[in-house]
Structure 1
Amino acid sequence: MIKLVRGFLTGAVIGVTVSAFVTGIIIENVPLILTGIGLPFAYGLLLFVAGMPRRAREAAVVPRVALAKIESLRASGTETGDVPVRFDLTVAPYGEPSFRAKARLDVNLVDLPSYRPGDVLVVAYPPDRPWKARIVEPDAEWARRAAGATLASAPESTVVRKPSAGSGHGFLVLLGILVGVAVVVLQFRTELFAPAAEASEASEASEAAEPTSVTSSSGSATVTVDPGQSLADVGELRRAVDGLAQHADVTKVLTAVVQEHRLSVVFAPTGVTVPSFDLRALPVDRVPALVAKARSTLEVGTPQTWQVTVIPFAGAVTLRIVVTGPDGSASLGG
């Protein structure tokens, strides 16, 4: 039960560590980054302190000494000096059945030929953990026993291994990782996802407010849209007007001309009292419908071009749509 709980806690620490570190970097939260760095060290210290009584009990166990026969050995490296050698041993404890065990020993290259399959060594292991068998330097008595001993090989089915934690342990580790990640992500979900959504909305708003091209001077201004767009489309003229308002003062406009891809504006001269109007107050939402009506009712043939002229007249603002085709031009007032 303790192993299962420890597995879950280990998974949770892994999940919190990784998600806290990554989330801290994304949202630029230094304390969260430090939490991701420091948590595994704190957890490791906790495990070390919690495991001290167990290690003390294990150290108090008197190891059992026995003879062991080398079944096979394999060096893990060829570098000079000591190399790690893995031994497959048959361990023959006195008065008990023999069993197979694995052991590791660092052997100097000069001494490596002294270890051959069939040789008898002396090993020590905890009685309750025989898979921790280790090759030891024997005293005189055990050296004498090993020199004259002949051991039969134990079957490979008797090999001893550390008990597996089982599939439940792995499941709880995975569950802990998922829980740890969820705790951090849910805790900081606003900082993680809101900025992206706000940035997307701001980008869309910026794209909606900015026309393709704006050219402005003291007396006039021109807004040009892409060839694939038309100011007769719903919302396009409003977008062009709002975009122009970001670059020029459109509260005193003398005249405005709307064409398929261009909005041209002439401003009232400064210091001169002339009829003018606020371009932003223009009922631009009516223009697409008026253009569509003019193109469908005025018989000028096809293809057609159109132009909307806006001027102040007698205290009001008038719109006139002129449609030109192969058969001439015609106009419609709005």
Structure 2
Amino acid sequence: MAIIETRSPARVRLKAAVSGFLSGGVIGVALACFVVGAILERWLVAAIGVALFVLNVIVVSVAGRVHRARNPRTPARTALAVIESRRAISGESANVPVEFVLTVAPDERSAYRVEIRQDINLVDIPDYRPRDVVVVRYRPDEPWDVEIVTEPTEAWARRAATESVDSAPESALLAGPKDEGSFCLLGTLGLLLGAALVVLPFRADLLAAVDDESTTTSSSSSSSSSSSSSATTTTTTDGFSWPTTSTTTSTVSGTASSEAMLSDGEMRRAAGSLITGMRTSSAAELTIEEHVMAVRGILGTPAAPGTAIDLNAVPYERLPGLVRVAQTKLGITDPISWRITFDPAPKTGVLTIHVSVTDAEGAKASLEADAQARITARHPR
């Protein structure tokens, strides 16, 4: 089927392409100025972005009015058309989109074919059968812009009922301009280039701001304290014995807070900050709650084998999944808090993870998992 495609004059297309590129560039500069200014707290840059955006809106609006004033659209006219084919597209409302192929027969020009899509009420679809004559409205300067008149005047309804319309050949199928896609591409390209012109000069400051933000969110506050423990031994020489005291271990405690410990990677970031601050990855106790991670670290050799928790070996990425299982699968309908504790077995060091949840009425449920965060026991409500 041949399609007669109408194209705008080359000069008009070039002017529209340049305007789209420049408008996209101004919008890109404006948005980038606003975002960069807000991130870096340089409010003058943000104000420039807002001013550019408002100025662009005003210029585009005025230019559109001037164009419409110089090139007024031709008023729509009424004509008869015959339905060549129809195809209903499924819809979710009473009005169903229908694709029509029409032969439009204006009184002042030769007939032509056109493809349109129009919403038709589901009840009225049987009234639009192939070869039926209908009343349409079209624009002489844009003949592809056709709309079926669902409630024509009495005179046109009488003409549609009494007159016939011959089908136009398939080669007379008329289509509108197809240049909008390239214009949109140029506008997008202008937007990206405009944004790059602003972002590139500030890239170093932006990277520094992102690094500072990640550092502050990983551990918003931490505190530590230390204490020492000692062991008493007995030394015997030539039948005489006396006690001697030697310090074997010391402990250091620390806490790290976060807005949401269940966020991706947040637990490991908090643990990393505590390991750095305490200067040890061995812990006697580790507790994780919604906003706090608390650790009692061990400096030196543990008093008993298997009593230390290796903070680097904890499967932090799987712990949020255990919390979600405890919140949804253990009979707690409205959990308000959760808590994770770790229990290394004496001597063997086999780690057991305990996850408990509590609802508003104080009811509790819990589960247990091994060192790889595989559930081994459940204790429902």
TM, length-normalised to structure 2? 0.44
Counting strand residues as a fraction of each chain, which structure ranks higher?
A: 2
Larger C-alpha radius of gyration, 1 or 2?
A: 1
TM, length-normalised to structure 1? 0.49
Counting helix residues as a fraction of each chain, which structure ranks higher?
A: 1
